[in-house]
Amino acid sequence: MSEPKTENKSKSKNELKKIENEQMYLEMCEQLKKKYDELEYIKAKLTMQNTDLKKEILTAYGLSRILDNLINNCFDVDMEVVCLSESLRGHLSNVIDDII
């Protein structure tokens, strides 16, 4: 007669263990989902920042080109200013080629 009680106890222990394992699995899935959502938010934020930075670099490049053209049209500009303008334009051009 003691066998059925032992068998029932082992069944109930197995069922409890199975429920605990399922609960742990569900908790881990929830943690993974939270982490995934957090990483997706960070990725979207970085993508927006990256796009904004690219726009700023392109704007700076465009302004340096305008400045360079204005300097070329003027006759009485110091050579240092001409060199700085050309260096800035060249550097921004390299950045655009490498990054954008």
pLDDT of amino acid 100: 79
pLDDT of residue 1 exceeding 60: no
The model's pLDDT over 59-96, given as tens digits with 9 standing for 90+, comes to: 999 999 999 899 988 888 889 998 999 999 999 999 99
Quick one: DSSP state of residue 78? -
Give the model confidence (pLDDT) of 2-32 as tens digits: 555 666 677 788 888 888 889 999 999 999 9
| Cβ neighbours for 81, distance < 8 A, ≥ 6 positions apart | 71
Residue 85, C-beta contacts closer than 8 angstroms, at least 6 positions apart: 64, 67, 68, 71
